Amino acid sequence: MQEPYVHKIYTNDTERHNPFPLKKHGFLGETAYSEQNADLLDKAIFAYPIKHYANQDGETGLSTDSIGKRGENFAVLEMDEFTVFIGDTFQMGEAIIQVSQPGPVSTKQLQNGLHTGWYFRVLREGEIQQEKDLVLLERPNPQWSVAACIEIMFLQKDDLKAAEDLYSCQHLGGIWKRTLRKRLRGY
C-alpha cells in the first residue's frame, strides 16, 4: 500500500490551496462546539476517499467534478473504510490527527459498499496543506476498521457481544459510545 495522501482540502465546499493552521476544532468553526458538547471535537475533520467518486455510467476513473461535494474536508487517496482504523494516529505537516468514528451513514452508503468516510479529532494543532502524506504514527486498534464499526452499528444490531467489544474501544468517539451504551442497556 502506498502512503496515505490528502489530495484536496475543503472548507465549506471551497478548496484550500495554501497552507493554514489546523486548530483543535478543525473545520467545525470556533462557535460550533462547547464544553457541553465536547463530543463534536471527535468530528473536527471529515475525510472521504476519492476512489468512491466513480463515474455514474460505471466507467473506470473519477468524476473529479464531484470531489468535495460530499461535505468532506479531506479528499484522500490510498485510504478507505477497510484500511483505516479507529485510533489510527497520523501526522500531517505539524498537526497530529486521530481517527475517531465513521462518517455519516445513510441507507445508500450501506448498500453501496460502506462508503461513509470517517472523522478525525485533532490531537495537536499545526500548519497543514493539501497534497501531503499522512504519516501513520500509531495503530492501537487493528481490529476496528471503520467498515467493521459500521457493520456492528448498522448491520449486526443483534450482536451484543460485538457491540460491547466496540464500546470498550477507548478511541471511539463519544457519540458512537453513547449509542452503543443505549443498545447494551436495551434502549
The residue among 67, 72, 43 whose CA lies nearest residue 55 is 67
Q: How far is it, in rounded angstroms, from Cα 181 to Cα 167?
A: 7
Tell me the three cell numbers of residue 43. 468530528
Q: How far is it, in rounded angstroms, from Cα 117 to Cα 52?
A: 9
Q: Give the pLDDT score at 109.
A: 66
Beta strands, E only, 23-167: 45-49, 74-77, 89-92, 95-102, 118-124, 126-128, 132-133, 135-138
Place of cell 441507507: 107
Q: Give the pLDDT score at 69.
A: 81
Q: Give the pLDDT score at 55.
A: 47
Q: Give the pLDDT score at 177.
A: 96
Q: Give the pLDDT score at 30.
A: 61
Residue 166: strand, helix, or coil: helix
Place of cell 462518517: 103
Q: How far is it, in rounded angstroms, from Cα 32 to Cα 135?
A: 28
Q: How far is it, in rounded angstroms, from Cα 90 to Cα 136?
A: 4
Alpha-carbon distances, residue 70 vs 36, 66, 153 (angstroms): 28, 8, 22
Q: Give the pLDDT score at 63.
A: 57
Q: Measured in whole angstroms, how far is the alpha carbon of residue 2 from the centre of its chain?
A: 19
Q: Give the pLDDT score at 158.
A: 94
Tell me the three cell numbers of residue 132. 501531503
Q: In CATH, what is the architecture of 5-184?
A: Beta Barrel (2.40)
Q: Which residues of the chain have pLDDT under 50?
A: 55-57, 60
Which residue ranges make up each domain of the chain? 5-184
